[in-house]
Amino acid sequence: MPDEEAQKQNRQVRGHQILNDGTSETLKGFACSPGKVTAEASVILSPDDFGKMKPGTILVCPMTTAAWTQLFAQAKGLVTNTGGILSHGSIVAREYGIPAVLGVGDVTKRIVSRQRITVTILDS
């Protein structure tokens, strides 16, 4: 049965994304920066949306690059569609000391701005 388990895991992880159950209220991703925070979300889809970032919210976005770093000072947490432990967002979130979960898949389609969410990095 090891082959079946490997196939199951391959369906759950695609590249730098966790494939979440579309009906679950709990979304999973890669734990990249420790902590727990509950706050409203700011869904930012591109640099054109940077002005929509509200201070004290959790930044929810497709991914980050160096251009996105300016938003981290305002963010209480970070959640992205793609990425992992060595991604830009992960490294900068650790530098700013904010919790981060990356590679959540379709998080930017499932969370809306002003929605109250919790980012939790569980102990392993």
Dump pLDDT digits (tens) for 35-67.
999 999 999 999 999 999 999 999 999 999 999
Give the active site residue among 18, 20, 62, 88: 88
CATH number of the domain at 57, please. 3.50.30.10
Tell me the mean pLDDT in the region 99-107.
Answer: 95
Q: Among this protein's residues, is 16 annotated catalytic?
A: no
Count the Cβ atoms, other than its own, within 10 Å of residue 114.
11
- Domain ranges, residue 27: 2-120
For the chain, the domain total comes to: 1
Q: What is the pLDDT of residue 17?
A: 75
In this prediction the pTM is 0.85
Dump pLDDT digits (tens) for 1-19.
333 443 444 446 556 777 7
